[in-house]
Amino acid sequence: MTNRLEGLLDSVRGHRVFIQTHNFPDPDAVASAVGLQRLLEYFSIKATICYKGTVSKASIAGLVTSFGIEMTEIDKLDITPDDYVVNVDVQTNNSNITESDGTTVACIDHHPTVSAYDYRFRDVRICGACASIVADYFFSNDIAMDTDTATILLYGLKMDTESFNRGVTDLDIEMFRKLFYLCDEDKLKKLTNHQMEFSELKAYTDALSTITVYDGVGFAFINSQASDGLIASVCDFMLTLVEIQFAVAYGYRGNGLKFSIRSELDYLDAGTITSNALEDIGTGGGHAIMAGGYLPFDNIMDADFDLQEELQNRFMNAVYFSRELQNMLSDPAAVSDIVASTDVHNE
């Protein structure tokens, strides 16, 4: 048994266990949670999957229904400080996870760490999908994996890497190869193809007609209740346009706005820009090339501004700040000035 697996098992034994995803979980979060749940079952540890928000229909409804996945909204659970919580595809203190009354003891994630937390067990590896990390527990420890689990994990891997078009690492490639030979190809193909409901088609085309571009940054607004899959699809489409290198798509979700952000430029970190843009009014974060966010309307109830104009200004300001920082760091003279001023300050 590898040290990683031993550390994980030691961190959760002897208590009720809850596997918590980020708010509004996506396919990778769901797949990773299910994979971890089945891994723990192998060692006779029962775990409940929980989340906050809603589960988008099109992108994971087929996953949940096809495999009978049980997930419970966290507010409907009686979680106490004696219960242990494992974060999956998210880290404690991030803006996209709701704190529970349980004791968070472990974290398995593939995002950069924004705020440090003292877990009993921590496995954070920067890769394309959290599902790759969970799959690695099985293969590194020669634990048998059934066809359904392999299909679920491979689906999460494909979705979070956009079919291996973003953020792919050697670990993702290795896990894809191993999972592919175990999965149900027909089920995987069906899940991958069915990303949007027919009822969302008009909303999708309407959203495309709202696209505006400012200095390489594209914005699109879905003027209706929108699933993660719909918002992400609009955002991904915008990056196919020659004029857009940074894309922001958003639409109504519950009593607020859900955001999907994409970047194809190294110096425009989608996670950082989203966090900065939604600071004080919402939450957001993610990878350098892909991020998400949420803005509850309750946070801006008394605000006196045009919302769409405010959002565009906030994102553009965050983008311009990143560009200026990049320009500064690419100028040797400017870097020398920064180092010199830091040295003086330290003295």
> What average pLDDT does range 66-74 have in this prediction?
93
- 90 alpha carbon, distance to own chain's centre: 7
pLDDT 10s digits, 118-131: 999 999 999 999 99
Residue owning tokens 């877990």: 119
Q: Is the pLDDT of residue 36 over 90?
A: yes
Q: Do 159 and 217 lie in a common domain?
A: no
The CATH number that applies at residue 238 is: 3.10.310.30
Instruction: Specify the pLDDT at position 53.
Output: 80
- Residue 88 located in a structural domain: yes
- 144 shares a domain with 45: yes
Same domain, 39 and 142: yes
**Overall number of domains in the chain:** 2
Q: Of 134, 158, 193, which residue is a domain's last?
A: 193
Give the contacts of 239 (CB within 8 A, at least 6 positions apart). 218, 245, 247, 262, 264
Mark whether 159 and 289 lie in a shared domain: no
Strands 121-124 and 256-263: unpaired
Give the burial class of 336: count Cβ atoms within 10 A of its Cβ; 0-12 exposed, 13-18 middle, 19 or more buried. Answer: exposed
The overall average pLDDT reported for the chain is 89
Single residue among 139, 169, 193 that ends a domain in this structure: 193
Tens of pLDDT, residues 154-169: 999 998 888 888 889 9
Q: In angstroms, rounded to a whole number, what is the distance separating the alpha carbons of residues 156 and 151?
A: 9
Res 239 pLDDT > 60: yes
Closest CA to 112 of 96, 129, 91: 91
Q: Residue 195 phi/psi, 5° resolution?
A: -110, -10
pLDDT of residue 344: 42
Whose CA is closest to 139, among 17, 285, 39, 27? 39
Say which residues have a Cβ less than 8 Å from residue 229's Cβ, sequence separation at least 6. Answer: 56, 57, 58, 59, 195, 196, 200
Rounded CA-CA distance 271/261 in Å is 8
At 58, the pLDDT band (50, 70, 90 cuts) reads: low
Taking the C-alpha atoms of residue 63 and residue 190, their distance in angstroms, rounded to an integer, is 10
Q: Per-residue pLDDT for 313 more than 50?
A: yes
DSSP for 228-267? HHHHHHHHHHHTTSTT-SEEEEEEE-SSEEEEEEEE-STT
- Do 189 and 213 belong together in one domain? no
In this prediction, residue 345 has a pLDDT band, given cuts at 50, 70 and 90, of: very low
Region 321-335: mean pLDDT is 77
Residue type, 224: S
Burial of 347 (0-12, 13-18, 19+ CB in 10 A): exposed
Pick the last residue of a domain from 193, 220, 252: 193
What's the CATH number where 20 sits? 3.90.1640.10
Q: Is the pLDDT of residue 198 over 80?
A: no
Lowest-confidence segment of 96-110, 160-174, 182-196, 295-309 by average pLDDT: 182-196
- Whether 342 is in a domain gets the answer no
- Same domain membership, residue 211 and residue 181: no
Q: Which tokens is 324 given?
A: 């200026």
Burial of residue 240, with CB atoms counted within 10 A of its CB: 0-12 exposed, 13-18 middle, 19 or more buried: exposed
Based on the fold, state whether residues 187 and 226 are members of the same structural domain: no
The answer as to whether 334 is a domain residue is no
Dist. CA 122–CA 87, nearest whole Å? 9
Does a structural domain hold residue 57? yes
**Overall average pLDDT of the 132-153 stretch:** 97
Mean pLDDT of 63-91: 94
User: How large is the average pLDDT for residues 160-185?
Assistant: 92
Query: Which pLDDT score, from 0 to 100, does residue 108 have?
Result: 98
Q: What percent of the chain has pLDDT over 70?
A: 93
Answer yes or no: is pLDDT of 95 > 80: no
Of the candidates 92, 161, 151, the one whose C-alpha atom is nearest the C-alpha of residue 126 is 161
Other beta carbons less than 10 A from residue 49's beta carbon: 21
Which regions of 110-255 does DSSP assign to beta strands (E)?
Answer: 121-124, 212-214, 217-225, 246-252
Q: Range of 304's domain?
A: 200-329
In this model, does residue 336 exceed pLDDT 60? no
- Tens digits of residue pLDDT in 248-263: 999 998 889 999 999 9
188 with 217, same domain: the answer is no
Is residue 123 domain-resident? yes
Does 151 lie in the same domain as 212?
no
Within a domain: residue 341? no
What radius of gyration do the chain's Cα atoms show? 21
Give residue 338's pLDDT band: very low, low, confident or very high (50, 70, 90).
very low
Residue 59, pLDDT above cutoff 90: no
- Residue 347 domain-assigned? no
